Amino acid sequence: MTVTKPAARPPARVEKTDEQWRSLLTEEQYRIARRHGTERAFTGCYWDHHEKGRYLCVCCGTPLFASSEKYESGSGWPSWWRPIDEANLALRRDASHGMVRTEVLCAACDAHLGHRFDDGPPPTGLRYCINSASLRFEPQG
């Protein structure tokens, strides 16, 4: 398994046993974040969420995305054109399901977040397509 991380300093590692993750997460959160699942489009609690704040890793609380960079991609999953800090994400080549994609993981705990695509809006041209079940929202203020 090849994991590519940005050059910036990643967050402190968070390591737990499978049993500990199961006790901390709902069944759906565990299936998606720890077992690399995917929620159905237009079903997650954040795909049509517009409150101001930050989206954190549901497993370890690492800050991942800000509402100011969130946009409506039409995909049915919450989407951002950039993360809060690229060092908080790890990227991995994903060749599952008969296609090649870039998987997005939490750099602190290796939670599966979703995928990154090269069809996003300016200025980055990137679309981080993330499962709501892998996130926890922290309101601004």
57 counts as catalytic: no
Those residues whose C-beta lies under 8 Å from the C-beta of residue 40, and which sit 6 or more positions away, are 76
Which listed residue (57, 60, 109, 129) is catalytic?
129
Q: How many CA atoms lie within 13 A of 108 on its CB side?
A: 14
Instruction: Let me know: does 53 contact 138? Beta carbons within 8 Å.
Output: yes
Paired with 71 in beta bridges are: 79
Report the alpha-carbon distance of residue 43 to residue 68 in Å, rounded.
22
Report the alpha-carbon distance of residue 141 to residue 19 in Å, rounded.
34
| DSSP helix/strand/coil, 31 | helix
Report the alpha-carbon distance of residue 50 to residue 93 in Å, rounded.
30
Which residues are identified as catalytic? 129
